Every structure is written in C-alpha cells, then in structure tokens.
Amino acid sequence: DIQLTQSPSFLSASVGDRVTITCRASQGISSSLAWYQQKPGKAPELLIYAASTLQSGVPSRFSGSGSGTEFTLTISSLQPEDSATYYCQQFHSFPLTFGGGTKVEI
C-alpha cells in the first residue's frame, strides 16, 4: 500500500497568512494526487486533482504542486471560511489511500 504522510497535522494561522501543507508518498505516484477540504459535519469537497489542477468553483487562493513523492497544498491568503481539515489522496494504485489530515485553525 502507498502511505501518505501529511504535515503538519495541525496548524494555527491568521487571516491573510500564506499556508502550506505537505503530503509525502511512500513511493512515487507521478501526479496522481487529489486534495480535499472537509469542514466539521460535512462531506469532503474536492479542491485539487492531478496534483495541481484546481477543481471548478474552487477559489484561486488554493493551489497545488509537486510530483513523484512530495506534494504541497498552498492557501495564498487564508480566509475565515478555510478553517477545515485538509486531506490528500493518491489514485496511482489500489488500494486508494488518504493522508492523515491537516487541521487548519484560524
């Protein structure tokens, strides 16, 4: 199985801050990575797929980069509504796996 390790597991930041979350894969997964945002009591929402492609309707302050084993999700200017837990998911091979999550507090 491909393990995904997210860091940090928790971060606290202020409105307007630039925030970066890292997802490391235990083996190369090319660009087969997606990022999701999950707010308490809600279903996850797709933010980014193929490592760097923004899903339609997602604000442009979100961006993704990376390939192989190291990936990042960046929020360029943190907004109050970005308070959530963020997960990466690899779709390079089965079983599909998710990272442990990063909780972002504002």
Partner 1 sequence: QITLKESGPTLVKPTQTLTLTCTFSGFSLTTSGLGVGWIRHSPGKALEWLALIYWNDVQRYSPSLKTRLAITKDSSKNQVVLTMTNVDPLDTATYYCARRVWNYDYFDNWGQGTLVTVSS
| Region binding partner 1 by CB under 8 A among candidate stretches 10-18, 40-48, 66-74, 76-84 | 40-48
Residues in contact with partner 1, counted by CB under 8 A, come to a total of 24
88: which strand partners?
Answer: 35
**Is position 87 an interface residue for partner 1 (rule: CB under 8 A)?**
yes
**Is position 97 an interface residue for partner 1 (rule: CB under 8 A)?**
yes
**Is position 95 an interface residue for partner 1 (rule: CB under 8 A)?**
yes
Which residues, 6+ apart, have CB-to-CB distance to 46 below 8 Å?
34, 35, 36, 55, 58
| Region binding partner 1 by CB under 8 A among candidate stretches 13-21, 22-30, 42-50, 72-80 | 42-50
What are the CA-CA distances from residue 1 to residues 7, 28, 68, 95 (Å)? 19, 12, 16, 6
